[in-house]
A and B are shown apart, each in its own frame.
Chain A
Amino acid sequence: MNAIEISDLTKSYDGFKLDNISFNVPQGSIMGFIGQNGAGKTTTIRLLLGLIKRDSGSIKMLGLDNIECENEVKSQIAAVFDDIPFHNQLTAAQLSTVLADVFSQWDKAVYSEYLDRFNLPRKKKIGQLSKGMRMKLQIATALSHHAKLLIMDEATTGLDPVVRNEILDIFLEYLQDDSNSILLSSHITSDLEKIADCVTFIDKGKILLTGVKDDIVESHAVIKCKKSDLKDIDKNDIISAHVSDFGVEALAADRKLCEKKYSGITIDSTTLEEIMLFYVRRDKGEWTS
């Protein structure tokens, strides 16, 4: 079963179009949703959360249409934004009283445990908390009402590596329950390398890649060669090539094929970050830094 099923989703703005995108988030997994700024990640997430209306297409979350069964869906999901959506004047303790009204399944005991675990002060106003503490508080609230699906938009952006690691560990712990799933949008690919099971890569409103992260990373490769050797490489085999004084690095979409075809050339494994970089520049073909 899929936690999220997006089919032919379209949304047009002035100057931007989310173009017929489709992808699934399998239940029990973390899906990393990557793309550069303005690629369409936030628009997709807003559509999932029902904050904006789609032009066409369908979205199913936990097996239900997100518009037709809006309340049922929303009672089982939790959204985490890049900044805390609570009033600066409130404290963590006061927030619990407020959220007990918002969520029918609000669990004060679980929330209290998370506050202790994250060392979050109960009586300090939210406005006085650091960025990392605010994010931890937001995650504590998201995990305290037994949500089955976490949807996070740039939740780890702007956090120091220690806090980011701590948060990523919590996500992995949350996924110990097989019925829980996470969609994590980020442009920090190193985080997703660590924890994501699947990855969806969006650029200019279109899905370029979607699938199991390891399959995507393993099927791609970086071809390293001299400038003079570039002409021997079939343009159809590469996404784009980075040409520098030191030589050429080109991203190949089919590693096995390239290993067979170009036996005399160095073919290295790649990372999500490299894949993203080369795909974003795919229109240029060859590019220099």
Chain B
Amino acid sequence: MKGMIYKEITLSRKQAFMTGSIFAIFTVLCILVRLSMEYGNIADDTEWRGHLIDNLWILRYLPLVVLAFSYNPSVTMYDDIDSGFLRFCKTTSYSLNYLIGVKVITLLIFETGVFAVNTLYLALLGTVGGEGIAFSSVSVLFKMTVFFCVINLLMLFISTIAKNKKAFEAILVTAVTLLAVAYTPFLMGLMEKYNGRTDIDILDLLRLELAPMLKYVQPLCVVLFVSGVLLNIFVGSKLLERREG
């Protein structure tokens, strides 16, 4: 398994470097903003500072979004397909369950790293702001990391269904479009409900409104994660086997 994980990491090096660089830029900017909130220009603007304090979560979790896709198993899956490696594996006794399993394990390794780096970032941000690091922030970070794992697993599964990269992208675009269409009535309702308020107010109110539902997020993430792993290993590998090469 070591060798195949090594392959996954080697193939993802470029992407990891790119997302890592963007993450570094984001973290520096976020920390500068936080410093400015305490000691710089923003500290003097009470109203603006107040808004930022209320929405510190943006500073806390925005860099995670970038780093969460430093390893994308669907990308390496298409690398395997396009290079002929998948076809090669089918000519050997190497199980496709392992091929998928390795991608899942690599994802876990990467996301654990992402979680650790982001926890350090949270600690740094907390130190700069003087509020320290709260367990609740780490807990949110963890849930978000699991959520991104689920997204990556879903993309991996789509890559086992889609015939080629174009079909894969078409499925993703369709899914995002459908989600946007489904989301529109909800958004329209919000606009009507909070007519005349600023975006930041709406976010605050929305957060309060959604608070009771947050308790379901954690178990849902766990269920989705386990389902994603099982779906890929048992169904995804069968779909890959069926793919004629």
Contacts and interface: CB of A to CB of B under 8 A. Distances in A.
Interface of A: 46, 49-52, 70-72, 74-75, 77, 79, 81, 83-90, 94, 97-104
A97 B3 CA distance: 5
Interface in B70-128: 79-80, 83-85, 87-94
Given A50-B91, A102-B92, 7 more contacts: A51-B87, A79-B91, A87-B79, A89-B11, A90-B10, A101-B4, A102-B4
Nearest to A84: B84
B244 A52 contact: yes
A52 B87 CA distance: 11
9 contacts: A50-B91, A51-B245, A75-B92, A81-B87, A89-B11, A94-B7, A97-B7, A101-B2, A103-B94
Instruction: Tell me if B's interface is mostly helix, strand, loop or mixed.
Output: helix
B91 A86 contact: no
Which residue of A71, A79, A84, A102 has the most chain B CB atoms within 10 A of its CB atom? A102
A98 B6 contact: yes
Nearest to B82: A87
B112 to A, nearest CB: 21
B7 A85 contact: no
A87 B7 contact: yes
A88 B7 CA distance: 12
Contacts of B92: 74-75, 102-103
Contacts of A75: 92-93
Listed from nearest, the 10 A-B pairs whose CB atoms lie closest are A85-B84, A101-B3, A85-B88, A79-B91, A75-B93, A71-B93, A74-B93, A97-B3, A49-B91, A98-B7
A86 B11 contact: no
Given A98-B6, A101-B1, A87 B93 contact: no
Nearest to A96: B3
A134 to B, nearest CB: 11
A81 B93 contact: no
Nearest to A82: B84
A77 B93 CA distance: 9
B94 A87 contact: no
Contacts, number: 76
B140 to A, nearest CB: 36
Contacts of B80: 87
B7 A100 contact: no
Contacts of B83: 85-88
Which residue of B87, B89, B92, B245 has the most chain A CB atoms within 10 A of its CB atom? B92
A83 B84 CA distance: 9
Interface of B: 1-4, 6-7, 10-11, 79-80, 83-85, 87-94, 244-245
Contacts of A74: 91-93
A102 B85 CA distance: 11
Contacts of B94: 101-103
Nearest to B13: A89
Contact of B4 (A52, A98, A103): A98
A167 B38 CA distance: 71
Contacts of B10: 89-90, 94
Contacts of B84: 81, 83-86
B93 A51 contact: no
Given A84-B84, A85-B84, A98-B6, A77 B11 contact: no
A196 to B, nearest CB: 22
Contacts of B244: 51-52
Contacts of A97: 2-3, 6-7
B183 to A, nearest CB: 38
B3 A98 contact: yes
A90 B8 CA distance: 11
Contact of B88 (A46, A79, A104): A79
A150 to B, nearest CB: 11
Contacts of B79: 87, 89
A24 to B, nearest CB: 21
Contacts of B1: 101
A103 B3 CA distance: 11
Given A98-B6, A100-B3, A87 B85 contact: yes
Contacts of A94: 6-7, 10
Contacts of A99: 3
B17 to A, nearest CB: 13
A102 B89 contact: yes
Nearest to A106: B3
B58 to A, nearest CB: 36
B83 to A, nearest CB: 5
Contacts of A83: 84
A85 B92 CA distance: 12
A85 B94 CA distance: 15
